[in-house]
């Protein structure tokens, strides 16, 4: 009987495994793929996450970037320079592998190429069926991503998938070492491009509404054309994610969800790695307390995520609802970009939020005042 089985070896699962092992718990991580496989991901990470771990992430950081650029339909550019620690750019295969290696040093077992085919709670334990046999644990953590099976098996709301895509691009010698965001090209969504050392990842995501996969791919290929890339210089991947919403319930019977499986991504800028790491850490704390006899710890996990991440995401969702929905109103969309993004102070604030230097709540009233003034003047 294991203390906990974690389904999925991504950032959330690796974080949970590490923090549970630090507390002396017996943990098994099940991963359906090979651990060294490429993971399509923008790869931007706030350096603020370092305070949650007791090891150095340097070997997993492909680049550090201190400039962020914003455009409207690939033009009307504005840039902001980060004044403190640069944002980390990572390739997820290396980043997630480092998390698991550190967890393994503490005794965590990892089974790769092991697909979970079913989960059932019987008596006082989870029975987990896989392609490599069956396992049993007192607690389970679903870290199997936006399209995984754990949310449904735990009896929790799965959330709505947001369509997206990623281009993994060979970096040309003159590629700018800048994080780039483009608004207005993808309907109710945006495109972002993060440098990752010898490559960079251009991503697109429909942030509101259903969207169409072919439109996401079309806009990313159009972006590639503007970079003068031919098809031998990039690989396209379909991806999906779930954005944070107010009614999240992340705990079930002896089970928790973390990361993309929980649907924690920022509803304005789609940041997903930081909440995955945070939720993994908090899930480990909750299960450790549950194993010690705290009957309310799993319910308190949901409350803790709502408090430490969700309250800030309420601002992000409100701004995102306005931002992406208004972008479709003729004559208003480009104006919203200019007042909400292009102003130097706005670009700087968005950059600081991405790096963890500020929270949405720190600037919430300031942003509301700007937009109230904008619409009152009828500009």
pLDDT of residue 368: 65
Give Cα 112 distance to the centre of its chain.
22
pLDDT of residue 348: 77
Q: Name the percent of the chain lying above pLDDT 70.
A: 92
- Give pLDDT tens digits for 13-27: 999 999 999 999 999
- Give pLDDT tens digits for 34-92: 887 788 899 999 999 999 999 999 999 999 998 888 898 988 888 888 777 889 999 99
Is 340 a residue whose pLDDT tops 50? Answer: yes
- Mean pLDDT value across residues 278-307: 97
Is 287 a residue whose pLDDT tops 50? Answer: yes
**Of 166-180, 242-256, 359-373, highest mean pLDDT:** 242-256
Of the listed ranges 32-36, 76-80, 247-251, 346-350, the one predicted with least confidence: 346-350
Q: Who has greater pLDDT, 136 or 248?
A: 136
pLDDT tier at 328, thresholds 50, 70, 90: low
Q: The pTM is what? A: 0.93
pLDDT of residue 377: 46
User: What is the rounded distance in angstroms from the CA atom of residue 74 to the CA atom of residue 224?
Assistant: 12
pLDDT of residue 373: 64
Could you give all domains of the chain from N- to C-terminal order, each with its CATH number?
2-61+88-160+243-313 (3.50.50.60), 162-241 (3.30.9.10), 325-376 (no CATH)
**Of 293-307, 336-350, 355-369, highest mean pLDDT:** 293-307
In DSSP terms, 203 is beta-bridged to: 166, 192
239: part of which helix (H) or strand (E)?
strand 234-242
Taking residue 141's Cβ as centre, other Cβ atoms within 10 Å add up to 34
pLDDT of residue 124: 92
- Give pLDDT tens digits for 133-183: 999 999 999 999 999 999 999 999 867 899 999 999 887 666 668 899 999
Is 323 a residue whose pLDDT tops 90? Answer: no
Cβ neighbors of 120 (< 8 A, separation 6 or more) are 126, 127, 129, 153
3-state helix, strand, coil in the chain (%, to 5): 40, 30, 35
* Averaged pLDDT of the chain: 89
Taking residue 22's Cβ as centre, other Cβ atoms within 10 Å add up to 17
């Amino acid at each position: 009987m294991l203390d906990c089985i974690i389904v999925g070896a991504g950032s959330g699962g690796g974080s949970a495994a590490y923090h549970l092992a630090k507390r002396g718990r017996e943990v098994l991580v099940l991963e359906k793929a090979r651990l060294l496989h490429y993971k399509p991901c923008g790869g931007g990470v706030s350096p603020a996450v370092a305070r949650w771990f007791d090891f150095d992430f340097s070997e997993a950081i492909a680049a550090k970037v201190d400039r962020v650029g914003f455009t409207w339909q690939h033009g009307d550019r504005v840039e902001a320079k980060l004044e403190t620690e640069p944002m980390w750019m990572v390739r997820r295969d290396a980043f997630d592998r480092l998390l698991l290696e550190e967890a393994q040093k503490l005794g965590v077992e990892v089974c790769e190429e092991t697909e979970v085919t079913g989960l059932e709670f019987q008596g006082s334990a989870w029975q987990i069926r896989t392609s490599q046999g069956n396992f049993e644990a007192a607690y389970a953590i679903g870290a199997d991503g936006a399209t995984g099976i754990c949310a449904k098996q735990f009896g929790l709301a799965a959330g709505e998938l947001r369509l997206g895509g990623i281009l993994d691009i060979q970096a040309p010698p003159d590629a700018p070492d800048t994080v780039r965001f483009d608004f207005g090209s993808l309907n109710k969504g945006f495109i972002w491009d993060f440098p990752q050392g010898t490559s960079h990842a251009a991503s697109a995501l429909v942030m509101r509404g259903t969207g169409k996969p072919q439109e996401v791919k079309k806009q990313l290929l159009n972006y590639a054309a503007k970079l003068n890339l031919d098809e031998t210089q990039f690989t396209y991947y379909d991806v999906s994610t779930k954005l944070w919403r107010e009614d999240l319930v992340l705990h079930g019977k002896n089970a928790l969800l973390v990361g993309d499986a929980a649907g924690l991504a920022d509803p304005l800028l789609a940041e997903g790695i930081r909440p995955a790491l945070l939720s993994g850490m908090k899930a480990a704390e909750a299960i450790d307390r549950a194993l010690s006899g705290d009957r309310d710890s799993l319910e308190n996990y949901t409350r803790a995520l709502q408090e430490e991440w969700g309250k800030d995401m309420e601002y992000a969702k409100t701004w995102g609802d306005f931002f992406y929905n208004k972008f479709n109103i003729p004559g208003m969309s480009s104006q919203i970009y200019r007042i909400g993004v292009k102003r130097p102070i706005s670009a700087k604030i968005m950059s600081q939020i991405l790096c963890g230097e500020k929270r949405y709540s720190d600037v919430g009233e300031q942003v509301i005042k700007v937009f109230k003034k904008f619409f009152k003047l009828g500009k």
